[in-house]
Amino acid sequence: MEMLDQILLAQPFFSGLSPRIAALIASCARNHVFHAGDYLFHEGTEARTFYLIREGEVALEIDPPGHLTMVLNTLHEGDIVGASWLVPPYRWNSDARAATRVRALGFDAICLRRKCEADPDVGYALMKRFVPLLVSRLQAAHLQLLDVYSPHRV
């Protein structure tokens, strides 16, 4: 059976981690399975776990009052689901719903925050991976807004 630290190191998001840091991060992880339609988390709830998708698709959704549910993004194998665990008040800003059967590694946020505080190398390794992810998702949101709200030019 493959060890969690080996699984981490095989994922592009965690590539380049030292074996020591991979083992520390993996010690906060466990395997999860979600069936199509299951929620990984709900908007406004405490961000206790983030996920690395190993198989399947996850839809990030919002439910604006008076409107139908909107899919903000669909995430796939190798993608990270959730970054709100990093920033107080540690609350999810969307729902995450399994669009298909999903196998994922779930990472305990409190465990990881403690490891980051105790060992700045762990925190720095995670920040180097999460900041580009956040910037990429912010840029994607900007493009969605331009598509929705920009006046059509003729």
Sketch out the chain's domains with CATH numbers.
30-140 (2.60.120.10)
**Whole-prediction pTM value?**
0.88
CB 140 within 8 A of CB 73: yes
List the beta bridge partners of residue 128: none
Give the tens place of pLDDT for each residue, 91-142.
Answer: 999 999 999 999 999 999 999 999 999 999 999 999 999 999 888 888 877 7
| CA separation, residue 53 to residues 13, 34, 78, 98 (Å) | 11, 11, 5, 10
Give the tens place of pLDDT for each residue, 44-67.
Answer: 999 999 999 999 999 999 888 888
Alpha-carbon dihedral 54, 57, 60, 66, rounded to 10 degrees: -160
* Phi, psi (degrees; rounded to nearest 5) at 99: -85, -25
